[in-house]
Amino acid sequence: MVKEHLAQNIIELYQIYAQEWIELRGKGLSEKVWLDRFLSLLPSSANILDLGCGSGQPIAAYFIAQGYQITGVDASEYMIEMARQSFPEHIWVQQDFREYFTEQKFQGVLAWDSFFHLTPDDQRKMFKRFAEYAQSGTALMFSSGPEQGEAIGSLFGEPLYHASLSVEEYQTLLQDNGFKLIKMIAEDVECTGHTIWLAQYL
């Protein structure tokens, strides 16, 4: 029950500490090798849906610099306002991405350092939504935990919820929702220990 409460508190934490998080996150791209793998599956000028986009820095900014079109979704009003100020020609939506719906199809769908804050049940539900955003060839990339379970980290001294399904369940969810797994690395040493999934919609 305590963990469930912490899971529901994620959005509030990122709203309270939005400015501090932006400063902490900075503009470094330790995940560049994976962003490039993701982009290699996309046509030029593709539309990318960034779920949990934050302020748009540095990931959306990296995509935009290479000519991609971004729709970013984040629940933090402050972060979305920062993204709008930095990149006014792109689409920024203030909303819990679990509740975001659009009939638009995207060539890329990203949930980086956001998906793993969802409860296991909410993660399972997102795979159907990923498929609804996709068209043939759409690339999907998200970060998870390395194994099934829940963990509590820290954000500026506050408890920060994370959860992960098992490797086998992620594989099954991808397959059952029309995605082919392209690459997965658990605790990638080249990407600050991230566990990353890259898949493509068939």
pLDDT, position 26: 67
Alpha-carbon distance 69 to 58, whole Å? 15
pLDDT value for 156: 82
For residue 164, count CB atoms less than 10 angstroms from its CB and return exposed for 0-12, middle for 13-18, buried for 19 or more.
buried
Cα–Cα distance for residue pair 112/97, rounded to 1 Å: 12
Mean pLDDT of 127-141: 98
What is the average per-residue pLDDT within 43-53?
A: 96
Lowest mean pLDDT among 23-27, 90-94, 110-114, 156-160: 23-27
pLDDT at 74 over 80: yes
- Report the mean per-residue pLDDT for the chain: 92
Alpha-carbon distance of 11 to 88, in angstroms, equals 24
Q: How large is the average pLDDT for residues 149-159?
A: 86
Whether 105 has a pLDDT exceeding 90, the answer reads yes
Give 25's pLDDT tier (boundaries 50, 70, 90): confident
Instruction: Categorize the per-residue pLDDT at 1 as very low, low, confident or very high, splitting at 50, 70 and 90.
Output: very low
Q: Which two tokens stand for residue 65?
A: 């610099």
pTM, full prediction: 0.91
Mean pLDDT of 162-190: 97
Q: CA–CA distance from 80 to each of 7, 14, 27, 86 (Å)?
A: 21, 12, 16, 10
Of 47, 185, 23, nearest to 105 (Cα)? 47
Q: What percent of the chain has pLDDT over 70?
A: 92
